[in-house]
Homo-oligomer: A and B are copies of this chain.
Amino acid sequence: MDLQVFLREKKQLIDEALDRYLPKETDPPETLSRAMRYTLFAGGKRIRPILTLTTYEICGGTDVDAVMPLACSIELIHTFSLIHDDLPAMDDDDYRRGKPASHKVFGEGMAILAGDALFAYAFDLAVRAPLPAPVILDALKEILWASGREGMIGGQVEDLLAEGTPPTPEKVLRIHRRKTAALIRASLVVGGIAAQADAETLGVLKEAGLALGIAFQIVDDILDEVGEEEALGKKSHKDRARGKCTYPRVFGLERARKDAFDYRDRAKTLLSQRFSDRAKPLLSLADFIVERIY
C-alpha cells in the first residue's frame, strides 16, 4: 500500500463529501455559511475522518456513503474546537492552518457563532446518516462522550486552567487524554459502530484509539517545542510561551519522543492482535501520525 496515495484518495473523498454536506456560501445567513466553510476548507489533513473510514472498512463495512456523514461529523467537531480554541479569550492564536484564524477574518462574535454552528451541524449530519437508528444513537453517544466535559471541551478547560501552573505527569496525561485522545478514539470507534462490530472489537478500538490519540498529542507538543512553524501553519513555541502543560515540559524531549513511539506501538499491537493482516492500513496511519516528528 502506498500511504501517500491512500491518504490523498481518502482526503479527496472526504473533502468532496464535506463540500456537498455543508451549506453553500450563498445560503443564508451568508456570513455564517462563509465562516463555517472558511476554517473547514482552510487546509487540514482530515486524519480523523480518514481513521473512521479506514476502521469502518477494516471492520467489514462496505457502504462508504453510510459512514461518511459520521466521519465528517467528527471533522466538523474538530474544526469547531479549533475556532473556539484560537479565540483571544482562549489560546489567542492569530493563525490556523497557515491562514488568519476565524476571529481575525470574521470578528470574535461571528467566530464563536461559526464554531457553535459547526458543532450543531456535526450532529445534524450524524442523525441523517443512512444507518439503523440504534446504530446512529450508539455513534452519537461515542461522539458526545469524546466532545463534551469528559472529552475535548473538558480537556480545553483543564488546559486553560493549567496555564502558568506547575506541569505534572498526571495533569498532562489528563489533558491529552481529554483534549485530543478522546476524539481520536471516537474516530476509530465510530467506524467500528457503523460497521456494527461486536463489543469486543469496539473495546479494542477504544483502547487503541486512546493510545494513538495520546501519541498524536505528544507529537504535536514536540513539534511546538522544536519548532516547525511552516509545517504546523501556526506559530510554534506558542505553548511554551503561554506556560502550557505540555509533554516535553513535564518529561523532557527525549522521553516524549520515546513515549510517543511507545503509545503508537501499543495501539499497533492491539490492532494487529485483533485484525491480523487487515489492520495494515490503520498501522500505516499510526506510523504516519507519529513520524511527523522527523
Interface residues of A (CB under 8 A from B): 23, 27-29, 31-33, 36, 84, 87, 89-90, 107-110, 112-113, 115-117, 119-121, 123-124, 127-128, 132-134, 136-137, 140-141, 144-145, 147-149, 153-154, 156-158, 160-161
Question: Given the known A-B contacts A120-B148, A144-B120, A153-B113, are A161 and B31 also in contact in the complex, defined by CB atoms under 8 Å?
Answer: yes
**What would 4 more interface pairs be, CB under 8 Å, given A113-B160, A116-B119?**
A110-B160, A116-B153, A121-B148, A121-B149
Return the chain B residue nearest A87 by Cβ. B112
Jot down 24 A-B pairs with beta carbons below 8 A, ordered by A.
Answer: A29-B157, A31-B161, A32-B153, A32-B154, A32-B157, A36-B149, A84-B112, A87-B112, A89-B112, A90-B109, A110-B157, A113-B157, A113-B160, A116-B116, A117-B153, A120-B144, A120-B147, A120-B153, A121-B148, A124-B145, A127-B137, A127-B141, A133-B137, A136-B137
Question: How far, in whole Å, are A160 and B110 apart by their CA atoms in the complex?
Answer: 8
Is the CB–CB distance between A149 and B32 below 8 Å? yes
Is the CB–CB distance between B112 and A149 below 8 Å? no
CB distance from A108 to the nearest CB of B (A): 4
9 closest pairs, A vs B, by CB?
A: A89-B108, A133-B133, A120-B148, A89-B109, A32-B157, A29-B157, A133-B134, A124-B144, A117-B153
Give every chain B residue within 8 A of A144 (Cβ-Cβ): 120, 123-124, 127
Return the chain B residue nearest A134 by Cβ. B133
Question: How far, in whole Å, are A120 and B80 apart by their CA atoms in the complex?
Answer: 12
Is the CB–CB distance between B23 and A149 below 8 Å? yes
Q: How many copies does the complex hold?
A: 2
Residue of A31, A89, A90, A136 with most partner-chain B CB within 10 A: A89
Question: How far, in whole Å, are A161 and B107 apart by their CA atoms in the complex?
Answer: 11
Return the chain B residue nearest A141 by Cβ. B127
Question: Given the known A-B contacts A120-B144, A123-B140, A144-B120, are A29 and B161 also in contact in the complex, defined by CB atoms under 8 Å?
Answer: yes
Give every chain B residue within 8 A of A141 (Cβ-Cβ): 124, 127-128
Q: Pick the contact of A154 from B90, B117, B132 — CB < 8 Å?
A: B117
Is the CB–CB distance between A112 and B90 below 8 Å? yes
